[in-house]
Amino acid sequence: MAGFVLLLHLLGATVWTGGHLVLATTILPRALRERRIDGLLAFESAYERIGMPALALQVLTGLWLAHHLQPDLGAWLDWRQPVSRLVMLKLGLLALTGAFAVHARLRVLPRLSPATLPLLAWHVVPVTLLAVAFVVVGLSFRTGWLY
């Protein structure tokens, strides 16, 4: 069962991280250069249909995997335990991602225009870096890089 849940988690991470890398490295630079939001909005609309379910899948499977590795929820906050440190790092990355997402959804996207594109970039780039950090921390469960 754990292998299947891990597979679902990795598929969600692939969609989430890959989509943000495409957005940050191709779609956003073109939109900023051309000062046009139509391509960006088209990508966002299409990606959101798979990106948000992928993130939800990651959260659900990530919590399951964390519980599988560390069944004592209280121990998740014990910084002395390597697995707990990684779980806390993942939860911190999730909180930061959530904060950026809520701000973008409520404040940035409703006011998006060619003039406000740089503000959107200040959201896309950190969320992309957070997505990559999720992958690095997740890999650390297997490699011990961040123990």
- The structural domain count of the chain equals 1
CA torsion 6→10→13→15, rounded to 10°? Answer: -130
pLDDT tens-place string over residues 70-94: 999 999 989 999 999 999 999 999 9
Residues of the domain holding 12: 2-143
> Which is it for the CA torsion 42, 51, 15, 92, positive or negative?
positive
Q: Which two tokens stand for residue 104?
A: 């973008």
pLDDT at 147 over 90: no
* Backbone torsions φ then ψ of 17, nearest 5 degrees: -70, -45
| pTM confidence score | 0.93
pLDDT tens-place string over residues 32-70: 999 999 999 999 999 999 999 999 999 999 999 999 999
At which residue do the structure tokens 């960006």 appear? 40
Q: Which range has the worst mean pLDDT, 18-22, 45-49, 96-100, 142-146?
A: 142-146
